[in-house]
Amino acid sequence: MVPADTPVLRADDLGVLRGDGVFETMHVRPDGRGGVQPWLLDEHLARMARSAARMELALPAEAALRELAALACAQWPAEVEGALRLTCTRGPEASAASGGPVTCFASLNPIGAATLAARRDGITVTTISLGYPADARTSAPWLLGGVKSLSYAINMASQRWALAQGADDALWVSQDGYALEGPTSTLAWLDGDVLCTVPVEPTGILPGTTARHLLDHAADLGWTAAERMVTPAGLAAADGVWLLSSVRGVAELRSIDGVASAPSAHTGNLLGYLGFPSLGY
């Protein structure tokens, strides 16, 4: 690991010139042997590989990415929750044009107080349109549906907008009125004993690793799993609504567009099942 204040990126790296690269962020937690490890590393590396393939970006061998992650985790104290980020950019412009190597680096940071508070207390969201109809990215691979690229300016602007409206986060809806995802999270909700999320097809949302893991193990919680389209009004009738993400983990939606809902009895169970301490280790 290089110190965080040491420059590692050239001014001509396409990662910064064009937001041209991919990333993954993982929750770093105790490995049970006195150290720490990134949770769901295999799944994150698989998603990074899919993102890179859709951007025609040649990643280094997976072993090299695992080594970057392991090096970052090696000195991390087991009692501190961490957020590990792996970033791979297309590299300097001239070398990328001639098929040169991508630029990859890892960073590991502690988790902020606001993130822990969101787990414990839930969040309020404001719905904002993502502009697209729900199926706009079907058969349009250049729109990078399902790709976790470095081009997150709209994601960040959406969260700034939500904060300015007094909410904690945004929930993107399609131009035709379906709830899609958060700018940095996946939507999930409980309808009776069916745990639901939004289908990646046709919406082009990012396939969430935490949501996938949870739905794949819904039976452990006594539920079945389903992928459904839903509207914000439909969410109001759910038995619990959450935004799932790798580091924040589970954030219960306590209010959508100012309409508050009763706390779900399931949020604590979800956090516990997924191994997220609501107040840090």
Residues 67, 75, 175, 275: which binds a copy of itself (CB under 8 A)?
175
Collapse the DSSP code of 65 into the 3-class scheme (helix H, G, I; strand E, B; otherwise coil) and give the result. Answer: helix
Q: How far is the CB of 194 from a copy of itself (least distance, A)?
A: 30
Which range touches a copy of itself (CB under 8 A), out of 1-9, 36-44, 62-70, 187-195?
1-9
Task: Give me the residues paired with residue 253 across strands.
Answer: 123
Check binding of 133 to a copy of itself (CB under 8 A).
yes
Check binding of 8 to a copy of itself (CB under 8 A).
yes
CB 170: neighbour CB atoms within 10 A?
26
Q: How far is the CB of 185 from a copy of itself (least distance, A)?
A: 15
- Residue 179 exposure: Cα atoms within 13 Å on the Cβ side: 28
Q: Which of 237, 259, 243, 254 is nearest to 191 (CA)?
A: 237
Residues 29, 119, 137, 212: which binds a copy of itself (CB under 8 A)?
137
- x/- mask, a copy of itself, residues 42-71, rule CB under 8 A, reads ------------xxx---------------
Check binding of 74 to a copy of itself (CB under 8 A).
no
253 near 242, Cβ under 8 Å?
yes
Check binding of 170 to a copy of itself (CB under 8 A).
yes
Which range touches a copy of itself (CB under 8 A), out of 26-34, 42-50, 82-90, 232-240?
82-90
Return all residues near 46 (Cβ < 8 A) that are at least 6 apart: none
Supply the DSSP symbol for 221.
G
Check binding of 113 to a copy of itself (CB under 8 A).
no
Q: Which of 173, 171, 237, 245 is nearest to 208 (CA)?
A: 245
Check binding of 20 to a copy of itself (CB under 8 A).
yes
Q: Which of 203, 192, 188 is nearest to 252 (CA)?
A: 188
Residue 228 CA to residue 263 CA, distance in Å, equals: 23
Q: How far is the CB of 205 from a copy of itself (least distance, A)?
A: 13
Which range touches a copy of itself (CB under 8 A), out of 81-89, 117-125, 195-203, 242-250?
81-89
Q: CA dist 203 to 132, 139, 153, 239, Å?
A: 9, 11, 20, 24
Which range touches a copy of itself (CB under 8 A), out of 127-135, 214-222, 245-253, 261-269?
127-135
Supply the DSSP symbol for 220.
G
Q: How far is the CB of 87 from a copy of itself (least distance, A)?
A: 7
4 or 61: CB nearest a copy of itself: 4
User: In the chain, what is the straight-line distance between the N-terminal and C-terminal CA atoms, in Å?
Assistant: 24
Residue 100 CA to residue 95 CA, distance in Å, equals: 5
Place of tokens 């991919």: 22
Check binding of 85 to a copy of itself (CB under 8 A).
yes
Q: Which two tokens stand for residue 124?
A: 């309020």
Residues 63, 153, 262, 279: which binds a copy of itself (CB under 8 A)?
153
Check binding of 117 to a copy of itself (CB under 8 A).
no
Binding site for a copy of itself (CB under 8 A): 2, 4-21, 23, 54-56, 85, 87, 89, 92, 105, 107, 128-133, 136-137, 140-144, 147, 149-158, 160-161, 170, 175
